[in-house]
A and B are shown apart, each in its own frame.
Chain A
Amino acid sequence: MDDAARSIIRRKTRNIHPTALALILFCFCSFAGSTSFGQDWVKTGTGLGVEKVRLAVPDFKASTSDAQNTALVKTFNDTLWNDLDVSGVVELVSKSFYPLQVPGQPPEINYLAWNAPPPNAAMLAFGNLGVASGKLTVQAWLYDVKNLQSPPVLAKQYSDTASDAAARMVAHKFADEIIFRLGGGIQGIAETQVYFSSDRSGHKEIWAMDYDGSNQHQLTHLSSIALAPRISPDGSRIAFSALTKTGWEIMMYSLDLNRLVNFPHFGGTNLSPAWSADGLRLALSSSRSGEPEIYVADASGGNLRRMTTDKGPDVSPTWNRKTNGQIAFVSGRTGLPQIYTMEADGTNQQRMTDQGYAVSPNWSPNGQFLVFAWVRKYGPGEPGASDLYLMDTASKQWVQLTHDGGRNDFPSWSPDGRHIVFQSNRSGTLQIWSMLADGTKVQQLTFTGHNEGPNWSWK
């Protein structure tokens, strides 16, 4: 990206809330165009000089002597650390800098041992947990160790039936509390879910997992091909596309009932359902009238209305989650697929990408950005990988998020707008990965079978 483009984005982003700016766009990446630096990339951008809060998180202590303590303490500490580490909101102080004596309760804090170098922590999260009579009790605090007059920021107590899942859930809840306080008031994502398609049962079925990759479990048992689940905004239903006896149809799975619920068959090839932000409508691609076109239906499947009429495949719609008034989609009307936007009634169709092969758009929660997969330089002698790009929809300026090879596709935003989950074959097989929206903190979430088409829950 050239300097002019970056300054446009700076000007543009100055209008939004400064914390949101810092969180969502805290860095842009730029490709060094010269061939001699073909494999290098340099990180530049806004907000790079802003220091994140230095947070120390010593391991929680066991408060009882129950046999279950050891396992649950480890689960809790690992989960809490990972949640805070990938949040992008804080800078975790390395445990190697911690004093030998760590607190399990407020009276045990030695402030000087924490707020001065080497830890030089601004914040300290600590506490204890223990099992008694099958019940897990967690006491957790967040202290501002540099504010000796009034250090307590958070004091929480959780209790639940003692289990590994409960220890993980309590860690997620406490991590979200910290991120909410230190991250400018944006809700954390530690309790969110990711839905995806996996073939590890022998067929591509719809699966679910916690956002950090734990608790992976199968939802559908169709023994066919089920692809690209999209969770409703209220988290109650999953729309997806599956191969039925009569072709590809939209199917609906209820997470309340844990089974498929009725949804009409439209005929032709029906793909890529996408929920409107209010959960009342679905955009989808259907070839019921011949060509694959974008349609909008009520959430029940009724009142189907055609939005596009051009030649060439139209597929993969995504709603503007902020305004609920626009839809971005992929169209092959001019040849190789490109990203387009339109009003939700089909008017004002505009092309967003100028070249290459651009697919799988997903609109950011704040409505400002599209993330999508792009092979920018497709053609003979240009083997270009499919990478993820972020585009400001108003200016059409973009930045590249992935650089590490492999085919990266199907990005989906986390509800806090800080993370993106996507599929990549960079490890050799197709798996689900997550990263911060600036391309850092890349984590592999799935390892078994082939996994694709991730979709992050709305809350």
Chain B
Amino acid sequence: MELEIVNNFVWPQREALGSQEEYVRQLNAKWFLLILGLSAFLTLSACGKKKAPPPPPPAPPPPAPTASISVNPSSIQSGQSASLTWQTSNATDVSIDGIGAVQPNGSQSVSPTDSTTYHLVAKGAGGTQEATARLTVTAPPPPPPPPTPTVTDEDLFGQNIKDVYFDYDKSDIRADQQSSIQANVQFLSQHPNVNFTIEGHCDERGSTEYNLALGDQRANSVKNALTAAGISPSRIKTISYGKEKPFCNESNEACWQQNRRGHFVYQK
């Protein structure tokens, strides 16, 4: 309260201007004399009862507080956060608008939704110091366009790998299927982490058991063609389905050809 009185006392002095200046000086002098007299009276009346102590050394004026505040980064997007850091000295009461009382020195993470000016007030015996830091919040960028679905190895496998077709009762790679083998070798060389199964399939004619054996040979025939071209055999599994899992169920050559194949399956 004392501080405020002093301040209030000072303000009129500052505001005295022009022709009123003399009057104010006189007024101040009157006030000054009044206070001085009162003080002397009090002092003398006290001294009248005791031996007056040696006058205390004049107290040095209390040092003025210092304050600084900064925010890093000074600009964020909505939803992001920034680090607010402040230092004060000689302050007993430190507060930041919107946050409240804080330690004299500290830092805090803030994530306002709008641009904010952090106003620090440090009060100490030596006065009050203020500091501000402004954090600019920008609107978030427009939501990215729906992400193009991530293309996985499995998708690429399905798009690029070609099944290999066989003649009736045959397990050797037909001349017109060599291009499929080469395309598969190229893809598999470029995607060395892809493991896969080759299924041997047969058409419905003939015995279950012979077709399972034939399907086994077809699967191995495709595998051998790939390994001969440098694909590691450790990436390849083979299985025969014979005529147990046909792709097509009609009894005609077009359908049978669909079923006589080495079918590639991506291995997860």
Residues of A at the B interface (CB closer than 8 Å) are: 204, 225, 227-228, 241, 243, 247-248, 268-269, 271-272, 285, 287, 290-292, 312-316, 330, 332, 335-337, 357, 359-360, 373, 386, 409-410, 452-453
Contact = CB atoms under 8 A, between A and B. Distances in A.
B210 A332 contact: yes
Contacts of B206: 337, 357, 359, 386
A373 B206 CA distance: 9
A314 B239 CA distance: 17
Contact of B220 (A227, A290, A312, A360): A290
A268 B223 CA distance: 13
A271 B213 contact: yes
Given A313-B217, A332-B214, A285 B209 contact: yes
Given A292-B217, A335-B169, A453 B208 contact: yes
Nearest to A269: B216
B213 A269 contact: yes
Given A225-B244, A332-B169, A359-B209, 7 more contacts: A241-B212, A268-B216, A291-B220, A313-B214, A313-B217, A332-B210, A360-B209
A118 B215 CA distance: 60
Given A225-B244, A247-B239, A291-B217, A269 B207 contact: no
Contact of A313 (B205, B208, B213): B213
14 contacts: A247-B239, A248-B212, A269-B215, A269-B240, A271-B213, A287-B216, A287-B217, A291-B217, A313-B214, A313-B217, A315-B212, A315-B213, A359-B207, A409-B207
A243 B244 CA distance: 11
A228 B220 contact: no
A272 B216 contact: no
Judged by DSSP, the binding face of A is strand
A276 to B, nearest CB: 18
A410 B205 CA distance: 13
A227 B208 contact: yes
A358 B240 CA distance: 21
Interface in B236-262: 239-240, 244
A456 to B, nearest CB: 17
A10 to B, nearest CB: 32
Contacts of B217: 287, 291-292, 312-313
Interface centre among A225, A269, A272, A453 (most CB of B within 10 A): A269
A287 B220 contact: yes
Nearest to A312: B217
A271 B220 contact: no
Contacts of B169: 332, 335-337, 357
B212 A269 contact: yes
Contacts of A453: 208
B225 to A, nearest CB: 14
